[in-house]
Amino acid sequence: MGREEFLFLLTGLKWTVALSAVAFVCGCVAGLMVALLRTSGVAIIERLTAGYIAVFQGTPLLMQLFVVYYGLALIGIQMDAWAAVSVGLTLHASAFLGEIWRGSIEAVPRGQTEAAKALSLGYVSRMKDVVLPQAIRISLPATVGFLVQLIKGTSLASIVGFTELTRAGNIISNQIFQPLTVFGIVGALYFLMCCPLTIYGAHLERKFLTASR
């Protein structure tokens, strides 16, 4: 494999990073909404959000990307593969992050909410100043763990036709007929992105365990 081909893989890598970043950032914003709705205390809203989460956790990411990709076109929104995949991954991330953060919000002791209410803090302040700062700390290891899942998940964009790292690998592999070398390098590039995050997540988890002892 020559310099040319390797540079093409790096271009794919760039898109993988961009896709992961967009999906993660947008997913965080949407996921926060999901988590807040899921813990809103209004039964109907909680049920609906729980259903939303269950659908994304009970179906393959690949199908989610297909449905969003073709569904958007259906309702008349013309988008290129890049935008459609970003939307799909964002929705996917919002459901998973929403569920992670719901767990963390519920893990904050009830007494905290009660104390905030006793101090006559409103919902916004109660969440923003009291509950969420503690919940975020609790959720950090799982959130980092999900980011790794998301980075790996972006590889499915290749099946929808977006040229990120895995599809770049497919293209090169078909050109030079050295699939093992190509996918070995592609795998190594994913590993270099994900492994530091995995280690960081494990570190956070240990830190949290010792702190809560």
Partner 1 sequence: MNYTLDFTPVIDGLPNLLWACLGTFTLAISGMLLAIVIGIGGVILRQSRVKLLRWLVIGFVELIRNTPFLVQIFFIYFALPLAGIRLDPTPTAIIALGINGGAYAIEIIRGGVQSISKGQTEAGLALGLHKAQVFRLIILKPALRTIYPSLTSQFILLTLTTSIASAISAYELTSVSQRIESDSFRSFEVYFTVTVFYLVISWVMMRIFAFFSARYFSYPLR
Integer CA distances (angstroms), 178 to 167, 168, 173, 190, in order: 15, 13, 6, 19
Instruction: For partner 1, give the closer residue by CB, 122 or 196.
Output: 196
Among 37, 198, 205, 208, binds partner 1 (CB under 8 A): 198
CB of 172 to partner 1, least distance (A): 12
Count, in order, helices (H) and strands (E) of the chain: 10, 0
What's the CA gap between 89 and 74, in Å, rounded? 19
Contact map string, positions 80 to 119, toward partner 1, x by CB under 8 A: ----------------------------------------
Contact map string, positions 178 to 197, toward partner 1, x by CB under 8 A: -xx--xx-xx--xx--xx--
| Tokens encoding 86 | 């970003």
CB of 207 to partner 1, least distance (A): 18
Amino acid at 120: S
- Interface with partner 1, residue 74, by CB under 8 A: yes
Among candidates 107, 167, 100, which has minimal Cα distance to 134? 107
Amino acid at 58: G
Q: Kindly write down the DSSP assignment for every residue of 101-120, as one continuous string.
A: HHHHHHHS-HHHHHHHHHTT
Integer CA distances (angstroms), 5 to 11, 19, 36, 156, in order: 10, 21, 46, 21
Contacts with partner 1 by CB under 8 A: the residue count is 38
- Interface with partner 1, residue 163, by CB under 8 A: no
Among 155, 162, 168, 172, binds partner 1 (CB under 8 A): 155
CB of 30 to partner 1, least distance (A): 20
Tell me which residues touch partner 1 (CB under 8 A).
55, 58-64, 66-67, 70-71, 73-76, 148, 152-153, 155-156, 158-159, 166, 169-170, 173, 179-180, 183-184, 186-187, 190-191, 194-195, 198
